[in-house]
Amino acid sequence: MKRLGIDLGTSSIGWAVLDDERIASAPRGLYAPNVIDCGVVVFPEGMDRDKSGNLMSRAAERRMKRAARRLIRRRRYRKFHILKLLIENAMCPMSLESLKKWKETGKYPVDDNDFMDWLSATNTKNPYVDRKNAAERPVDAYSFGRAIYHIAQRRGFKSSKKELLAEFDADDQSSSKQKKETELGEVKRGIKELSQLMGEKTLGQYFYELYQKGEKVRGRKTDRKAHYEKEFDVICDKQKALVSSELREKMRSILFFQRPLRIQRHLVGWCELEKGKKYRRCLESHPSFERFRALCFLNNFKVRKEGAEGDFISLTQEQRDFILAKMMRVTPFKDGVKALMKEFNKEFSAKGEASWVSNHRDYADVPILEVTARFEKLGIPKTDWQTALNASVDFDDLLMLEAWAKKRWGFDDKKAREFVRINPSTERAKYSLHAINLILPWLEEGYNLSQAIYLAKMPEVIPDWNSNKSHCYPIAKDF
């Protein structure tokens, strides 16, 4: 009998045709006597390599160029929008017709002499002079417009939510525990150094001093909120005669608005139990799922006395309540089940008696109800838990989230900061919130997960469930 053997690789396929009948007739000592033929087919890798030799997707270069095009396009749109607003408020000498022609043709309006003169820069007349003057005293409309247009061209680095949370944590810790200078990234380190050099000056004032000294201005790491937004507020406060509160907010929106990332909820998988009903999977940080996970662990958790013979026994209701209360915490158990059993024995083992041991490994993970514990500590009503979770996940601007929490629940600064620092996980469970809420009552009764999933359909099977459920629970236990 002939057989084909294939060895699949990332950039090659090895093959060999074997004949089993040759083995019996071949003399001893020959190597692989049953091989009729063999060979290797080599082909290019499915991925490219960068300059360091690391694998890289073939779409990576195209994706980076597309991202650069989008960045240039959005910057151009921002300039067009701010120019339109400046023209309408007589802060730029360009006409709306000239701006429209520029947008439609893509040709820079070099023939608009007034606009080109407004843009021109000399040693005594340049954007940094306008930004400095606008931050120190009232100026004319065109000088103010030129300063705003210059800010629109570069608006600094915006920290991600993760970085802002790290900064919040550092602010709340003592200086000895703060992140070391060497641990900061290149951009954040550059921003911090620039802020120290600036002191109380605005970015425009500091750059004007560098410009006067003939030092390089470009290439410095700047922050959107700490540098540009701060300067914008200082300038607008000085130019109250020119800028109304309504115009100020319009300018702020154009200069600093950044579209949030596209919502990816359509990529969330379907519930494994209710695929036909189109329920999406629940967040792992949802309080209902936290309780679901804790009860699944608890209903499989059994104990017996150390050294005792026989099976492990189920927990009493008092023991269940004790463990569930211990799981209501914001930090994980350092040693898993071992740490939990230490607490358990303090409560339920009398002095001189044998300790309790569990049916789990000593260092197995113990689920905790972190988000639930934080919500309860802050006093957020249960009816608002879903809203609070959605806000914690969806808000990118932590200062806005802090202000929202103060307005929603009347938090003081300390409580609002604690709410901002919750940072719930965005990982997804296997089941939908709808399915979890159907299963939870049966887990509360002590059933394990497979039994609870089976019994969760009873409300659909038994008519008038709300009236009959008190009779059905004992029957289900006997069943």
Mean pLDDT of the chain: 86
Does this model's pTM top 0.85? My answer is no
Average pLDDT over residues 129-138: 93
Average pLDDT over residues 32-50: 83
Query: 373-386: per-residue pLDDT in tens?
Result: 999 999 999 999 99
Query: 65-104: per-residue pLDDT in tens?
Result: 999 999 899 889 999 999 999 999 999 999 999 999 999 9
**What pLDDT, on the 0 to 100 scale, is given for residue 479?**
59
Average pLDDT over residues 301-311: 88
**Could you identify the residue written with the tokens 């380190």?**
189
**What pLDDT, on the 0 to 100 scale, is given for residue 477?**
63
Amino acid letter, residue 287: P
Q: What are the CB-based long-range contacts (under 8 Å, 24+) for 291-294? A: 291/369, 291/372, 291/440, 292/429, 292/431, 292/436, 292/439, 292/440, 292/443, 293/367, 293/429, 294/324, 294/327, 294/367, 294/368, 294/369
- C-alpha separations of 25 from 3, 18, 20, 465 in Å: 17, 14, 10, 77
**What pLDDT, on the 0 to 100 scale, is given for residue 29?**
56
Band (pLDDT 50/70/90 cuts) for residue 167 is: low
Band (pLDDT 50/70/90 cuts) for residue 3 is: confident
Query: 355-370: per-residue pLDDT in tens?
Result: 999 999 989 999 999 9
Q: How far apart are CA 268 and CA 291, in angstroms?
A: 21
**What pLDDT, on the 0 to 100 scale, is given for residue 30?**
54
Number of neighbouring beta carbons within 10 Å of residue 243: 21
More confident residue, 308 or 322: 322
Q: How far apart are CA 443 and CA 436, in angstroms?
A: 10
- C-alpha separations of 275 from 281, 282, 286, 442, 460 in Å: 10, 13, 20, 21, 17
